[in-house]
C-alpha cells in the first residue's frame, strides 16, 4: 500500500532556506536595483527597463563584452590543447606521477590576488625578472603599463600559467581511466598515434573535457581579481573586462541601477553560453 | 584450394617472460594448430593472459621465439603478425559505428572500399549484427558489443585469433548461446584459435586441445578429452574439475589402500604394484555417490556440511572425519537427494575411478 502525503517537502526545506540566503535573496536585491533609481536614503524611483536599454545600447558595454569574449576565447584556445598535450605526456605510473601531479596543482593553490601581484612584479621592466630580461637582455621593448598588446600578452600568459593545470588534471584523470585493452586493440589494428588519440583517447576524455571547458569558460568569463591587480584594466581601457567595468560603474561611479542591470545581463550571457555548450556536447549521449 | 585445407601453426619455443625479478611465464614450448580450438585452462593469475600477450607481441619476452607457419615472428610488431584479440571486456572504438568498428583494421590495412563492405557485411551476417551496423557500441547490449568485437576478428581474417575469456562478462544465457556458436564461427577459416578460460566446463564443451596452466607454466597439453581422462599430475586433476576434485592421502600396504581407520579397499592393476607408502588419491565428485552403484563401491560415512540442490543435480559437501584435516569431499549425483545438514550419511566411491599420485604430485596409477 502506498500512502500519499506531503512530508517529503519537509526534507527539501533546509536546502531551500540555504539557497534562498546565498542566491535568491541577493539576486532579487539586484533585480530590485535594476528597475529603480536611488539617491540613497532608501528613496527609490521606478525606472522600468530603462537601465537595461541603456546598458544594451552602450558602446562602453559592447567594448567590454568584446574584450571579455576575446579574452575567454584566447585562453580556451591555448589552455585546452596545451592541457591535453601536457596530460598526454605525463607518466601513467611510477615515482614521477605524484611529483607531476603536485607540481601541476601548485599554481591553482595560490590565492588569486597573489597571482596578480606576482605577475605584476615579475613583469616590471626595471626590477621584474621577466620584464628586465625582455627589455635589457633580449632588447625587446616590453612594458605592459604603456603598451596594450603587452598588457594582453601578460594577462593571457598569467591565466594560462594559473589555470592550464585544471585542464591537465581533468584530462589526466580521463586518460588514466582508459583500460589498457583499448591500446592493445589499437596496436593490433596497427593504428597510428594520431588515430589512437582521435578514436580512443579523445572520445574517452570527452566527458571530463566538457567539464573542464565549462569550468574554464565560466571562470575566465567572470575573471576579476587577477587582471584588476595586474593591470587595473589599463593601459587606457584596453584590459577592462566585463567584471572590472561593472565594479567601476557600481563602486566607482555609484550608478547602482545601471550596474544592477549590467549584472543581470552579464549573468544571463554566462548562463546562456554555458547552457548552449553543455547541451551541444551532451546531445549525443542523451539519445 | 579450400581454406580449411590450409593448416596454420603457431609455435612457441622456450619462451619466458620476466617483470623485474619475477618470472611471469616460465620456459614454455607449445605448438598450436588451426582447425580446432586451443584452450588455455587455468585459474586467474596462472599466466593465460601473459602467454597470449607474448604470442600477440604485445609484451616483450625475456627469451625464446614465436613462429607462425614456419616464420620467426619474434621480432615482428603486433600489427605485422596479423592477429586478432577479443578481450573479456567489450573493447570497441566508442565513437565509431559498428560498421566502422568492424572495418577499422581493414581500413588501416588500406583495403579497397568495396572489399571492406563485403567483408564487414559477411561478418555482420554471421554474428547477426546486420540491423545494428549503424549504431554505436554503447547503444548495444553486452552480448552484441562482444559480437561486434568478434566480427572485427572475423572480418580481419587474421592468422591467429586470441579469445581471452571472451564470455566472462556475459550473463549466463548469452554465454551459453555464444559459446555454442563459437566453434562454428572460426571453423574453416584457417586461423589458429587460442581460447583462454578458467572454467573446465568451457574447455570440455569447446573440445580441441587444451593446455593446462599453473603458476606461469603449461603443466599438460593435449587433446581436451585425453587430459580430462588422464591428468598427468595432481594439479592437472585439480584444475580440470568443477566442482573441485576430491583428494585425500591413503596408506598403501600390500594390496590394501587405507583411507581412514574404517575405510579401506583392495587395489588392483598398476596401483597394486606400487611400493608401500603414502599416496594421494583424487576422485571426481560424480564418482562419489549417495547410493551404491552397480560396480564395486567403497562405503564412506561422512557428516554432511553443505548441500546444493539444482533441478538436475544434487551435491553434498561432507566431512571425511580424517584426524588433523579440514578437507571435505563433494558428492555430485543426478536428481534430487534429500540430505540432512549435520547428519551422518553414507557415500559410495568407485575406487577404479580414482587417480593415484606419488608424494611429488606425479600420476602413478
Residue of B nearest to A205 (CA): B94
Give the list of residues 6+ apart from residue B258 with CB closer than 8 angstroms, or none.
B250, B251, B252, B264
pLDDT of residue B325: 59
Cα atoms in the 13 Å half-sphere on the side-chain side of B287: 20
Residue A1 domain flag: no
Residues of B in contact with A188 (CB under 8 A): 56, 58, 78-79, 83-85, 105
Give the burial string for A34-49 (b: 16+ CB within 10 Å, else e). Answer: bbbbeeeeeeeeebee
The three three-digit cell numbers of residue B124, written as one number: 555482420
pLDDT of residue B127: 87
Residue A260's CATH number: 1.10.3720.10
Measured in angstroms, the CA of A198 and the nearest CA of chain B are apart by 10
B171-174: long-range contacts (C-beta < 8 A, 24 or more apart)? B171/B142, B174/B142, B174/B143
Residue A3 domain flag: no
Residue A4 domain flag: no
Residue A150 domain flag: yes
Q: Do the chains contact at B91 and A181, CB–CB below 8 Å?
A: yes
Q: Which residues pair with B12 in a beta bridge?
A: B30, B66
Residue A199 has pLDDT above 70, yes or no: yes
Angle between the B98-108 and B113-126 helix axes, to the nearest 10 degrees? 130
Q: Which residues pair with B71 in a beta bridge?
A: B68
Angle between the B172-186 and B142-156 helix axes, to the nearest 10 degrees? 10
pLDDT of residue B360: 85
Residue A60 CB neighbours (<10 A): 14
pLDDT of residue B324: 55
Q: For residues A187-204, give the mean pLDDT.
A: 87
Residue of A nearest to B82 (CA): A188
Q: Measure CB to CB from residue B87 to each of A181, A190, A203 and give the nearest one.
A: A181
Residue A197 domain flag: yes
| Percent composition of chain B: helix, strand, coil (DSSP 3-state, to 5) | 30, 35, 35
pLDDT of residue B326: 60
Residues of A in contact with B58 (CB under 8 A): 184, 187-188
Which of helix, strand or coil describes residue A108? helix
Q: Do the chains contact at B79 and A200, CB–CB below 8 Å?
A: no
Q: Are strands B344-349 and B298-309 parallel, antiparallel or unpaired?
A: antiparallel
Q: Do the chains contact at A190 and B87, CB–CB below 8 Å?
A: no
Q: Which helix (H) or strand (E) holds B308?
A: strand B298-309
By residue range, what is the domain housing residue A221?
9-286
In Å, how far are A65, A222, A250, A260 from A58, measured between CA atoms?
11, 20, 16, 15
Measured in angstroms, the CA of B70 and the nearest CA of chain A are apart by 21
Residues of A in contact with B94 (CB under 8 A): 200, 203-204
Mutate to test the interface with A, among B58, B80, B90, B91 (most CBs of A within 10 A): B91
Q: Do the chains contact at B93 and A203, CB–CB below 8 Å?
A: yes
The three three-digit cell numbers of residue A268, written as one number: 544571463
Q: Measure CB to CB from residue A188 to each of B85, B89, B95 and give the nearest one.
A: B85
Reading chain B (365 residues) residue by residue, the pLDDT tens digits are 344 445 778 889 898 998 888 888 898 899 998 888 999 999 888 889 999 999 988 888 889 899 988 888 888 888 888 889 998 888 888 888 999 999 988 888 888 888 899 999 989 988 888 888 999 888 888 888 998 999 998 888 888 999 999 998 888 888 888 888 888 888 878 889 999 999 888 898 888 899 999 888 898 999 998 988 888 888 888 888 878 888 888 888 888 888 887 888 888 878 888 888 888 889 999 888 888 877 778 888 888 988 888 878 888 998 887 765 567 889 998 888 888 888 888 899 888 888 999 888 888 88
B76 reaches A (C-beta below 8 A): no
Q: What is the ipTM of this complex?
A: 0.71
Residue A93 domain flag: yes
Restricting to A residues 174-213, those with a Cβ less than 8 Å away from any Cβ of B are 179, 181-182, 184-185, 187-191, 195, 199-200, 203-204
pLDDT of residue B172: 84
pLDDT of residue A161: 94
pLDDT of residue B3: 45
Which tens digit of pLDDT belongs to each residue from A64-123? 999 999 999 999 999 999 999 999 999 988 889 999 999 999 999 999 889 999 999 998
**B26 secondary structure, DSSP code:** E
Q: Which residues pair with B300 in a beta bridge?
A: B347
Residue A250 domain flag: yes
How does DSSP assign A134-191, residue by residue? IIIIS-----TTT-HHHHHHHHHHHHHHHHHHHHHHHHHHHHHTS-HHHHHHHHHHT-
In Å, how far are A180, A187, B11 from B58, measured between CA atoms?
11, 8, 16
Q: Do the chains contact at A179 and B91, CB–CB below 8 Å?
A: yes
Residues of B in contact with A93 (CB under 8 A): none
pLDDT of residue A114: 92
pTM of the entire predicted model = 0.76
Residue A88 domain flag: yes
Residues of A in contact with B85 (CB under 8 A): 184-185, 188
pLDDT of residue B99: 93
In whole angstroms, give the CA distance from residue B230 to residue A221.
74
How many interchain CB pairs under 8 A, A with B? Answer: 51
B79 reaches A (C-beta below 8 A): yes
pLDDT of residue B2: 43
Number of domains in chain A: 1
Q: Measure CB to CB from residue B95 to each of A184, A191, A203 and give the nearest one.
A: A203
| Percent composition of chain A: helix, strand, coil (DSSP 3-state, to 5) | 75, 0, 25
Residue A213 has pLDDT above 90, yes or no: yes
How does DSSP assign A225-252, residue by residue? HHHHHHTTT-STTTT--HHHHHHIIIII
Amino acid at each position: 500500500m502506498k500512502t500519499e502525503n506531503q512530508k517529503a517537502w519537509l526534507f527539501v526545506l533546509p536546502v531551500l532556506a540555504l539557497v534562498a540566503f546565498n542566491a535568491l535573496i541577493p539576486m532579487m536585491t539586484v533585480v530590485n536595483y535594476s528597475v529603480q533609481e536611488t539617491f540613497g536614503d532608501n528613496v527609490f524611483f521606478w525606472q522600468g527597463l530603462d537601465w537595461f536599454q541603456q546598458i544594451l545600447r552602450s558602446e562602453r558595454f559592447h567594448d567590454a563584452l568584446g574584450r571579455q569574449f576575446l579574452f575567454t576565447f584566447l585562453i580556451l584556445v591555448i589552455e585546452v590543447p596545451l592541457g591535453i598535450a601536457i596530460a598526454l605526456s605525463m607518466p601513467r605510473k611510477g615515482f614521477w606521477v605524484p611529483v607531476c601531479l603536485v607540481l601541476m596543482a601548485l599554481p591553482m593553490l595560490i590565492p588569486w590576488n597573489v597571482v596578480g601581484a606576482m605577475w605584476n612584479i615579475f613583469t616590471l621592466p626595471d626590477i621584474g625578472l621577466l620584464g628586465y630580461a625582455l627589455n635589457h637582455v633580449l632588447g625587446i621593448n616590453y612594458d605592459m603599463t604603456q603598451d596594450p598588446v603587452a598588457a594582453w600578452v601578460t594577462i593571457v600568459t598569467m591565466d594560462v600559467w594559473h589555470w592550464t593545470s585544471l585542464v591537465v588534471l581533468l584530462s589526466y584523470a580521463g586518460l588514466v581511466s582508459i583500460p589498457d585493452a583499448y591500446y592493445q586493440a589499437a596496436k593490433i589494428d596497427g593504428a597510428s598515434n594520431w588515430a589512437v588519440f582521435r578514436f580512443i583517447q579523445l572520445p574517452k576524455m570527452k566527458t571530463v573535457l566538457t567539464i573542464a571547458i565549462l569550468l574554464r569558460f565560466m571562470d575566465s568569463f567572470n575573471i576579476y581579481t587577477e587582471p584588476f591587480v595586474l593591470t587595473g584594466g589599463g593601459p587606457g581601457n584596453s584590459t577592462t573586462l566585463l567584471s572590472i567595468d561593472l565594479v567601476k560603474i557600481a563602486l566607482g561611479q555609484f550608478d547602482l541601477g545601471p550596474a544592477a542591470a549590467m549584472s543581470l545581463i552579464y549573468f544571463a550571457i554566462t548562463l546562456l553560453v554555458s547552457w548552449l555548450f553543455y547541451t551541444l556536447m551532451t546531445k549525443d549521449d542523451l539519445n | 584450394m579450400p581454406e580449411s585445407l590450409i593448416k596454420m601453426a603457431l609455435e612457441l619455443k622456450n619462451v619466458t617472460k620476466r617483470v623485474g625479478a619475477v618470472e611471469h611465464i616460465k620456459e614454455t614450448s607449445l605448438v598450436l594448430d588451426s582447425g580446432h580450438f586451443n584452450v588455455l585452462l587455468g585459474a586467474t593469475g596462472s599466466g593465460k593472459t601473459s602467454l597470449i600477450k607474448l604470442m600477440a607481441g604485445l609484451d616483450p619476452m625475456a627469451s625464446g621465439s614465436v613462429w607462425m607457419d614456419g616464420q620467426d615472428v619474434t621480432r615482428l610488431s603486433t600489427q605485422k603478425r596479423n592477429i586478432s584479440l577479443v578481450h573479456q571486456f567489450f573493447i570497441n572504438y566508442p565513437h565509431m559505428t559498428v560498421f566502422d568498428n568492424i572495418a577499422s583494421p581493414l581500413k588501416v590495412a588500406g583495403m579497397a572500399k568495396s572489399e571492406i563492405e563485403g567483408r564487414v557485411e559477411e561478418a555482420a551476417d554471421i554474428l547477426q549484427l546486420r540491423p545494428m551496423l549503424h549504431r554505436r557500441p554503447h547503444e548495444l547490449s553486452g552480448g552484441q558489443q562482444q559480437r561486434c568485437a568478434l566480427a572485427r576478428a572475423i572480418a580481419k581474417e587474421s592468422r591467429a585469433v586470441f579469445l581471452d575469456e571472451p564470455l566472462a562478462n556475459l550473463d549466463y544465457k548469452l554465454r551459453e548461446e555464444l559459446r555454442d556458436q563459437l566453434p562454428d564461427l572460426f571453423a574453416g577459416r584457417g586461423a589458429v584459435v587460442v581460447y583462454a578460460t578458467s572454467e573446465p566446463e568451457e574447455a570440455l564443451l569447446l573440445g580441441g586441445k587444451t593446455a593446462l596452466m599453473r603458476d606461469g607454466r603449461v603443466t599438460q597439453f593435449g587433446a581436451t578429452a585425453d587430459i580430462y581422462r588422464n591428468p598427468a599430475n595432481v594439479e592437472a586433476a585439480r584444475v580440470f574439475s568443477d566442482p573441485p576434485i576430491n583428494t585425500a592421502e591413503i596408506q598403501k600396504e600390500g594390496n590394501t589402500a587405507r583411507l581412514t581407520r574404517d575405510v579401506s579397499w583392495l587395489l588392483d592393476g598398476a596401483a597394486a604394484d606400487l611400493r608401500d607408502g603414502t599416496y594421494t588419491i583424487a576422485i571426481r565428485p560424480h564418482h562419489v555417490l549417495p547410493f551404491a552403484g552397480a560396480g564395486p563401491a567403497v562405503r564412506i560415512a561422512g557428516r554432511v556440511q553443505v548441500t546444493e540442490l539444482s533441478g538436475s543435480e544434487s551435491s553434498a559437501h561432507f566431512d571425511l572425519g580424517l584426524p588433523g584435516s579440514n578437507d571435505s569431499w563433494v558428492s555430485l549425483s543426478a536428481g534430487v537427494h534429500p540430505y540432512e545438514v549435520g547428519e551422518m550419511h553414507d557415500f559410495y566411491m568407485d575406487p577404479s575411478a580414482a587417480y593415484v599420485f606419488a608424494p611429488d604430485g606425479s600420476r602413478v596409477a
